[in-house]
Structure 1
Amino acid sequence: MVTWPWKRDRAAPRTLKVRSRGDFGDVNRVDFEELAPSIDTFLGQAAYLQLGYFETLSELIAPTPELSHKESISRAAGAALFKHQQLVGVIRERGDDPLDVMLPFREPLDAFRRATHGARHLETMLSVHITAGMLDDFYLSLSASYGATGNRVAQILHADDDRQALVQLITDAIAADEQWRDLLSLWGRRLVGDTLLIARGALRPQTLDAAEEKRVEPVFTDLLGAHSRRMAAMGLDA
């Protein structure tokens, strides 16, 4: 059983808040005292996730025959790389070494990337769209815990991700061959469990008691609701 590095972190308590997209104020928030991770965990995991998405998408470009499809995938890859670079910049501004901050998360997040890598290109594109969407939302909900640094991260995560280009490739494939619909619906449902484990693993306690479970429930309910909307927008069952 993997012992997540951030589960051993017992630094000063943080506050986890639920926020809507575009909201950088204090409205509509739910507090989770002592559950949010340290700022190094927050920044290190968020930065390494974006690097992983860039790497996964870049691997799809060479074997893709159609030039227009290559360009679509490259736009999404470039957006992930831009977010990674911006998050690395935030880490450097804090006086830390980005490699040192990201290194504890390399092994578990590489394992996550392997587990959510599809056997087919469309499955992998869907993996990036779904897992990045869910985890971006999760890190947006965490960002309110970290003051000005959290606001900077929220602005970075709000930047255009260009994943709509991937969505278009997926919906075009379904329109051309209806068999993709059931296969990708099943794959999308499989992704949820692995992604929620990453989110849950980022919270400070190794296990949550009943009261803590109740406090985090709205965050994960929101994540699942947004996942269902993403799947429905592609004509897929969540």
Structure 2
Amino acid sequence: MVTWPWQRARPAGRTLRLRSRGDFGDVLRVDFEELAPDVDTFLGQAAYLQLGYFETLSQLIAPTPELSHKESLTRAAGAALIKHRELVAIVRDRGDDPLDVMLPFREPLDAFRRATHGARSLETMLSVHITAGMLDDFYLALSASYGTTGNRVAQILGEDDDRQALVGIITDAIASDEEWRALLALWGRRLVGDTLLIARAALRPRALDAAEEKRVEPVFTALLAGHSRRMAAIGLDA
């Protein structure tokens, strides 16, 4: 179980909502009262997640033999690094030290990366595609709670992530060896629990009451629907 280190008070009246259809993703708009994290938590997590995806993808480049696959991994890693740098720029514009803002989340998010790192390169590529997709959706939903800062984050997270290059590598592998399909389908299903824990922990560091659980449910239903679509697009069962 990941232990999250922040215990900050949250300003009254903060609202978390999923954006309307047509903004970012295909999820229904849902409002929450006082469940969104403070802005430093929001920015620190989002920035460190992107740094983690850059690190994970970069580590896959050297052992990958095919030049075209190396180039695809480089593009996806570069996109994550650009997003990390742009999120860090927002932190600096607010007058904060990015290292201080990200540091509380280093240990739990590194643990998350280890838990979702596959034994094989294709599993790890699928991990990045699936977990980053789900958490991008979640942080885009959170961004509606932070005014101008949230709008800037939404713009960054909505930029091209070049992860379709990873999908191409995965689908090519499945086409060449059908055994990959069952293995990767199982791995994709295993990723969901750890990823949803990260999202739930971002809302509030305590157990939600029954009313809050009811309001949260549509958010996670939407995240699971997005996961199913990503898996189906690869030809895998969610």
TM range (shorter): over 0.9
Q: Give the corresponding residue for 1:62.
A: 62
Paired with 1:185 and 1:113, the residues of 2 have a C-alpha distance of 19
Name stretches of at least 5 consecutive residues in structure 2 with no aligned partner.
none
SS at match of 1:172: helix
Instruction: Give a deviation string over 1:111-164, Cα, whole Å, max 9, x none.
Output: 000000000000000000000000000000100000010000000000000000
Structure 2: how far apart are the matches of 1:75 and 1:164? 10
CA contact (8 A) 2:143 2:150 kept: yes
Aligned length: 234
Mapped to 2, the partners of 1:43 and 1:225 lie a distance apart of 25
Change in CA separation of 1:21 and 1:72 when aligned onto 2, cut-off 3 Å? farther
Q: Answer whether contact 2:10 2:34 (CA < 8 A) is retained.
A: no
Cα RMSD between the aligned structures?
1.2
Report runs of 4+ in structure 1 exceeding 2 Å deviation: 20-24
Select between 94-103 and 10-19 the one with higher mean Cα deviation. 10-19
Equivalent in the alignment of 2:78: 78
Pairing of 1:83-232 with structure 2 (within 5 A): 83-232=83-232
Deviation at 1:2, TM superposition (A): 4.4
Q: Distance in 1 between matches of 2:35 and 2:205?
A: 6
Q: CA 1:21–1:60 in structure 2 vs 1: closer, same or farther (change >3 Å)?
A: farther
Cα gap change, 1:112/1:144 in structure 2, threshold over 3 Å: closer, same or farther?
same
Q: Which runs of 5+ in 1 are unaligned?
A: none
**Inter-CA distance 20–79: structure 2 relative to 1 (3 Å threshold):** farther
Q: What's the secondary structure of 2:146's corresponding residue?
A: helix
Cα deviation, residue 9, structure 1? 1.9
TM-score between the two structures when normalised by the length of structure 1? 0.96
Work out whether residues 35 and 204 of structure 1, in 8 Å CA contact, stay in contact via their aligned partners in 2: yes
Q: Structure 1, residues 34-61: CA drift from partner, whole Å, max 9, x if none? A: 1100000000000000000000000000
Distance 1:65 1:125 in 2: 15
User: In 1, Cα distance between the equivalents of 2:84 and 2:22?
Assistant: 20
Equivalent-residue separation in structure 2 for 1:171 and 1:179 (angstroms): 12
Contact 1:45 1:102 in 2 (8 A): yes
Cα contact 1:52–1:110 (8 A) shared by 2: yes
- Contact 1:51–1:84 at 8 Å: present in 2 too? yes
C-alpha deviation, 1:205, in angstroms: 4.4
Task: Flag the 1:34–1:234 CA change in 2: closer, same or farther, 3 A.
Answer: same
Alignment CA distance shift 1:159-1:40 (3 Å): same
Q: SS at the partner of 1:135? A: helix
Deviation at 1:31, TM superposition (A): 1.4
